[in-house]
Amino acid sequence: MNIQQRWNEVLQRIESWAHLLQSWLSSLFFFLQENAPYFLLAIPLCTAIVCAVIGRKRLMEQISVWGSALTALFGYFLLQNVLTTPSYVTIQARLGGLLYADSLSAYLVLIICVLGLLAAFYSVGYLGHEYEQGVFGGGRLREYYFLFNLFIFTMLLAALANNLGVLWVAIEATTLASAFLVGFYNKEESLEAAWKYLIIGSVGITFALFGTVLVYFSTLDLAHVESRSLNWNILIQPGIAASLDAHILKLAFIFILIGYGTKAGLAPMHTWLPDAHSQAPTPISALLSGVLINAAMYGILRFHRLLSVSPVGPEFSSNLLLMFGLLSVAIAVLFIVVQQDYKRLLAYSSIKHMGLIATGIGLGTPLALYAALLHMLNHALAKAFIFMGAGNLLLKFKTKEMARVSGAMKVIPATGAFLLLGVLAITGVPPFNLFVSEFLILTASLEKEWWLAALILLLLAIAFAGFLYHIGQMVFGPSKEELTFGEANSSAFFPLIVLFLLILMLGFYIPSPLHQLIEQAAKVVKP
Amino acid sequence: MFSISPQLLDQAIEMSAAFMLVSSFLVLAIKRLHVHVRLYAIQSLFLTAVAVCVGLSGEKHIFWVAALTFLFKVIIIPALFARLIRRLNIQQETQLTLNVPASLLIAAGLVFGADYLTRTILTTGNGVELSRNILTISIAVLLLGLFTMVTRKKALTQVIGFLTMENGLFLTGIAIAKGMPLLVELGVFFDVLVAVFIMGVLLHRINETFDTINVEKLTKLKG
Amino acid sequence: MDWNQLVLRMAVILSQLLIFLLLAPLVIGWARKVKAFMTNRQGPSLWQPYYDLAKQLRKEVIVSENASWIFRITPYIVFVSTFSVGLLLPFFTSFVPLFFVGDVIAIIYLLAIARFFLALAGLDAASAFGGLGSSREMSLSAIIEPAMILSLFTIAVTAHSTSPGVIANEISSNPNSFSWFAPSHLFAFIGLFIVALAETGRIPVDNPATHLELTMVHEAMTLEYSGRYWAFIEWAASMKFLVFLTLLANLFFPWGIVPEAQLFSPSAVAMGFGIYLGKILILTTLVAFIECTTAKLRLFRVPDLLAVSFVLSLIALVLYFVLGGRA
């Protein structure tokens, strides 16, 4: 009997501990979910500081990758929170109104986290290989990882900002954090690219700040002192938005579009983009092309919504976006055809896709908005995929000129195959994901004007031909004798395969949480 | 506190804004680099004066902005530049893509353009007549800063042009919008300071690699 | 009109002319004294220009063999045209003797006649220096003239008249005491100041004390003159300097000027003259100060300086209209 009693006691005690543990875990979980934004911001920042302090290669690599994974985890928590809250708006006005997360923010956070993690993973192999080859010295690696994590932090801050001034500070901070990353190799071309990036980016940002100040100025007429703010969630309230001055808002939007449009790579302010994206180290190029220009477009979207609910109405900003979008696509396609450097080729492709996104937003129908937002994710994934393939090519052939690269299939068959698949993906061939979003944008443009769809289709076809020609030249053909068979960077295949699976999956099937998220995000842009 | 007539304050704000415009012109007219830095310091000094006048007319929190402007833009940033010029050990004059009289005339045209812009956009009085005038001057200073960046070939002068644009923007922020929330102002100041610092380091690296800071030499990336 | 008043008016006009004539060399002497003081010298006496003029008037005139009648007649034309400007300007009163004859445009043209003949005379003596000076003077004047006209027109627009006396009256009697603090006024002042430096041949445009061929403009044209011809031309040059100083003082800071109503009270006139003298001397000190602290510009840089003056006046004009039509 003693044993029986004691056994029951032990069982009970274990049960109570288990209950305790369970409640403790669930409250922890809840706490983490509720405060995900703070963690999202704190983790990359801490990772950056830790990497700056510790200079050892292996430690920094591990910390970066695990830090990015942790950030992605909190990104997931944020997503959960946003999707399960009834009005799809959560974490309103934390930190005195500075932070805010709705479905649009959560969507951008998703893109940043996924690509950040994959880029961190890719950096390990890529930069490790270059370091061993002696392309740069010891302390530079520490600089790289510090700036890399800082860059992720600033983009997350931009996604979670509520106050339009904080949004501006975050986007300017992305320029500053990535300036040295662009000029990382310290060669003549890198410095030139970094200088152009910094100067043109800063000029654009100054215009954007002017637009922000003008928006603040337009709120000064309002009666209540509390509503004279730069907080987005206050500004879009119907009572307040409808009483802002239309003329000032129009002038403000022009400045904002030019300003943030410079960062987003819209023509004719795009001239820094080919230089910066081609000269930066490949993982940074992937981040710049996939995430940063999306973050800048996110800024434009916030102002687009503000203008839609103000007396100006949605037509003004939609028409401007449509114009800039079409111009970007046209100019980018022109330059794609005559390119000689394959990383610049990919950069111009980014401009083209950004133009498509702007066109989608400019068309304004719910279908077009959904397609444009989906395109943001699809382009980010596909561009990262093809950039990583190109990075492997660069490591092997050590040149960026397409004329000097040939026979990749013979020397590095895996990368060659991935490059070919990447070209098909990035030019919108089914069954890859970009086909879906481009098709939807074209459908939406048919509803508006048929010649619009015809023009876009023509330009996309030209781009497809140009791309296939250029990459085909590099992948097929005779190889040079002195190159040995075998990949330079084998650890790169993990992110490459992950991305390939993602872009394939999204071409067939969009998971329903993602679908919900994008739908809600489209409603944020146009209610 | 003794009361100053608002008319006098308005006049003082207009005068200071006008002097800011003149210093932007002088940057276009004079070719020596350290004079550009001094002109920037003088322009920021007038900006501080505008901030003080706006503060005296009732908005107390602007005094913080005035103090920050004075500390950063009149003292710290020009000192950074002076040190940079000494260490870069470069030729003291900037090269131009347009000669001085032509640039000055185009700059005058830009001032007209700014006036036209504000006339057509701000058709309503929207409060004070002062607003439209100051808005014109600040858009003009913005455009002149941009023009300086485009037509002057020394990278340092391009940075001065960028900072002039920021000054024009701050003029709007202080005189018209009566200053933004303090946290945002702090963030903006910090950003500008870091931007200048990064530009300085980049200039240093450019000077080491190219042996000049003439941006005409930075033309390898084309197409 | 009253006989008394007529006589008093004539007296005022004559005294104005005499002051104009006799004050000019004093202003030059003062400028030289200030420059000497700034360079730690004692310098020539304040009345030295008078002694020079008196000496030269008595001396013999040497004329080159190649010179024509233009050479002989130019000193008189230059002297008379510059002197007649004195009848078109307000000095210590806003009553301008020949106000019905001309305004600032007439002043500009009278000075242009003087310059034209001086340039011809420089060529006339068939010496290399003379031709050099003439060509430089004419090319500089091509850029100075627009800047000068624009500065004067800017101030004329704000006062709605081109007559200097009316302008001075408008500004000094304006009840809004802060109108002189207007940006457009100050910019037009800077513009006209730069033009004054250029027109009267001061550093940084031309060195009035040099005889090096690299740096001469005005001196080169007058190099061949001697005796009373030289005296007249130098006197005319100093009168031109005084004309510009008077324009600067009375168009931009006309307080203390005696209005026409108070013309006949001796105390007002005396005080007006005193204030006028003070303003002139302050401006002369400013010019001398700038001469001492600036280096002379190379000839092809002078257009840059005058472009600054031109554009400053242009901005002044724009600011006048932008800032709501308030001066």
Provide the pLDDT for residue C73.
94
Structure tokens at B218: 């930075």
Q: In this predicted model, what pLDDT tens digit does every residue of B190-213 receive, in sequence order?
A: 888 888 888 888 888 888 888 777
Provide the pLDDT for residue C318.
77
For chain C, positions 161-180, list CB contacts with chain B under 8 A. 178
CA nearest neighbour of A391 among A520, A470, A287, A505? A287
The Cα A397–Cα A419 span in angstroms is: 14
C224 found inside a domain: yes
Range name among A448-462, A483-497, B33-47 with the lowest pLDDT average: A483-497
List of chain B residues whose C-beta atoms are within 8 Å of the C-beta of residue C318: 108, 111-112, 115
pLDDT per residue of chain C (327 residues) written in tens, 0 to 9: 678 888 888 888 888 889 899 999 999 999 999 999 998 999 899 999 999 999 999 999 988 888 899 999 999 999 999 999 988 888 887 778 777 877 888 999 999 999 999 999 999 888 888 888 899 899 889 989 988 998 888 888 877 888 888 888 777 776 554 455 677 787 888 899 999 999 888 888 888 877 777 777 888 888 889 889 999 999 999 999 999 999 999 888 877 777 777 777 778 888 888 999 999 999 999 999 999 888 888 888 888 888 888 888 888 887 777 665 543
Burial class (CB in 10 A: 0-12, 13-18, 19+), C127: middle
A139 found inside a domain: yes
To the nearest 5 percent, what fractions of chain B are helix, strand and coil?
Answer: 80, 5, 20
A296 found inside a domain: yes
Strands A89-94 and A99-102: antiparallel
Q: Give partners of B (≥3 CB pairs < 8 A).
A: A, C
The answer to whether the beta carbons of residues B22 and C187 sit under 8 Å apart is yes
* Cis bond before residue B181 (omega within 30° of 0): no
Provide the pLDDT for residue A409.
82
Which of B104, B119, B122 would you mutate first to test chain C, the one with the most C CBs within 10 A? B104
SS3 (DSSP) at C207: coil
Q: In this predicted model, what pLDDT tens digit does every residue of A58-115 receive, in sequence order?
A: 888 888 999 999 999 888 888 888 887 755 455 555 566 677 888 888 899 999 999 9
The answer to whether the beta carbons of residues B100 and B24 sit under 8 Å apart is no
Q: Residue B193's CB: how many other CB atoms inside 10 A?
A: 15
- Mean pLDDT for the stretch of residues B139-152: 91
Full residue range of the structural domain in which residue C158 is found: 16-322
According to DSSP, residue C60 is labeled P
List of chain A residues whose C-beta atoms are within 8 Å of the C-beta of residue B181: 163, 165, 229-230
- As a whole number, the mean pLDDT across chain A is 87
Those residues with Cβ within 8 angstroms of residue A225's Cβ, 6 or more apart along the chain or in another chain: none
SS3 (DSSP) at B214: strand
The answer to whether the beta carbons of residues C196 and C111 sit under 8 Å apart is no
**What's the domain count of chain C?**
1
CA dihedral A52, A58, A64, A69 (to 10 degrees): -160
The Cα B195–Cα B159 span in angstroms is: 10
Tokens 């080159």 — which residue?
C64
SS3 (DSSP) at C103: coil
Provide the pLDDT for residue C185.
80
Provide the pLDDT for residue A267.
83
C155 found inside a domain: yes
**What's the domain count of chain A?**
1
Contact B105 C308 (CB under 8 A): no
User: Do the chains A and C touch each other, judged by at least 3 C-beta pairs below 8 angstroms?
Assistant: no
Does an H or E element contain A290, and which?
none
CA A452 vs CA A12, A356, A359, A457, C70: distances in Å = 72, 12, 10, 9, 78
Structure tokens at A514: 């993602």
C95 found inside a domain: yes
Provide the pLDDT for residue C323.
61
The answer to whether the beta carbons of residues B90 and B203 sit under 8 Å apart is no
Report the percent of chain A where pLDDT is more than 70.
Answer: 95
- Mean pLDDT for the stretch of residues A471-487: 77
Query: Model ipTM?
Result: 0.88
Q: In this predicted model, what pLDDT tens digit does every residue of B99-131 receive, in sequence order?
A: 888 888 899 889 888 888 777 766 555 555 567
Q: Which of B22, B100, B136 lies at the smallest CB-CB distance from C187? A: B22
C9 found inside a domain: no
The Cα A429–Cα A407 span in angstroms is: 24
Q: Is the dihedral of CA B98, B100, B105, B111 positive or negative?
A: positive
CA nearest neighbour of C283 among C237, C315, C252, C262? C252
Length of chain C: 327
On whether any CB of chain B is under 8 Å from the CB of C307, the answer is yes
Q: In this predicted model, what pLDDT tens digit does every residue of A327-351 receive, in sequence order?
A: 999 999 999 998 888 899 999 999 9
- Mean pLDDT for the stretch of residues B160-176: 88
Those residues with Cβ within 8 angstroms of residue A483's Cβ, 6 or more apart along the chain or in another chain: A396, A397, A411
* Cis bond before residue A268 (omega within 30° of 0): yes
On whether any CB of chain B is under 8 Å from the CB of A178, the answer is no
According to DSSP, residue A136 is labeled S
Which of C184, C308, C321 would you mutate first to test chain B, the one with the most B CBs within 10 A? C308
CA A30 vs CA A34, A78, A91, B126: distances in Å = 6, 11, 13, 49
Provide the pLDDT for residue A386.
92
- Mean pLDDT for the stretch of residues B179-187: 75
Provide the pLDDT for residue A60.
86
CA nearest neighbour of A125 among A417, A416, A429, A395? A395
List of chain B residues whose C-beta atoms are within 8 Å of the C-beta of residue A252: none
DSSP string spanning A440-505? HHHHHHHHH-HHHHHHHHHHHHHHHHHHHHHHHHHHSS---TTPPSS-S-GGGHHHHHHHHHHHHH
A2 found inside a domain: no
- Cα angle at B94 between B93 and B100, to 5 degrees? 105
Q: In this predicted model, what pLDDT tens digit does every residue of A222-280 receive, in sequence order?
A: 656 665 677 777 787 777 777 788 888 888 899 999 999 999 999 898 999 999 999 99
Length of chain A: 527
The Cα B214–Cα B211 span in angstroms is: 9
The Cα B143–Cα B161 span in angstroms is: 10
Provide the pLDDT for residue B223.
64
Burial class (CB in 10 A: 0-12, 13-18, 19+), C58: exposed
CA nearest neighbour of A383 among A410, A345, A413? A345
Q: Give partners of A (≥3 CB pairs < 8 A).
A: B
CA nearest neighbour of C202 among C122, C266, C280, C289? C289
Structure tokens at C197: 């430096």
List of chain B residues whose C-beta atoms are within 8 Å of the C-beta of residue C303: 100-101
- The whole-angstrom distance between residue A201's C-alpha and the CA centroid of its chain comes to 17
Structure tokens at B190: 């910090």
Those residues with Cβ within 8 angstroms of residue A350's Cβ, 6 or more apart along the chain or in another chain: A265, A273, A277, A289, A293, A379, A383
For chain B, positions 200-219, list CB contacts with chain A under 8 A. 201-202, 205-206, 209-210, 215, 218-219
Full residue range of the structural domain in which residue A462 is found: 33-525
The answer to whether the beta carbons of residues C276 and C249 sit under 8 Å apart is yes
The answer to whether the beta carbons of residues C56 and C227 sit under 8 Å apart is yes
Does an H or E element contain B164, and which?
helix B155-171
* Cis bond before residue C49 (omega within 30° of 0): no
What's the pLDDT band for A170 if we cut at 50, 70, 90? Answer: very high
Amino acid identity of residue A223, one-letter, is: A
CA nearest neighbour of C167 among C185, C182, C150? C185
Provide the pLDDT for residue C327.
39
Amino acid identity of residue C264, one-letter, is: F
Structure tokens at C143: 């850029």
Burial class (CB in 10 A: 0-12, 13-18, 19+), B199: buried
List of chain B residues whose C-beta atoms are within 8 Å of the C-beta of residue A146: none
Provide the pLDDT for residue A152.
94
Those residues with Cβ within 8 angstroms of residue B84's Cβ, 6 or more apart along the chain or in another chain: B156, B200, B203, B204
Provide the pLDDT for residue C114.
93
On whether any CB of chain A is under 8 Å from the CB of B122, the answer is yes
A344 found inside a domain: yes
pTM metric for this prediction = 0.83
The answer to whether the beta carbons of residues A439 and A510 sit under 8 Å apart is no
- Mean pLDDT for the stretch of residues A448-476: 88
The Cα C226–Cα A110 span in angstroms is: 92
Those residues with Cβ within 8 angstroms of residue B184's Cβ, 6 or more apart along the chain or in another chain: A163, A165, A166, A168, A169, A230
The Cα C276–Cα C268 span in angstroms is: 12
A21 found inside a domain: no
CA A95 vs CA A64, A161, B122: distances in Å = 27, 10, 35
For chain A, positions 276-315, list CB contacts with chain B under 8 A. 278-279
- The whole-angstrom distance between residue B94's C-alpha and the CA centroid of its chain comes to 18
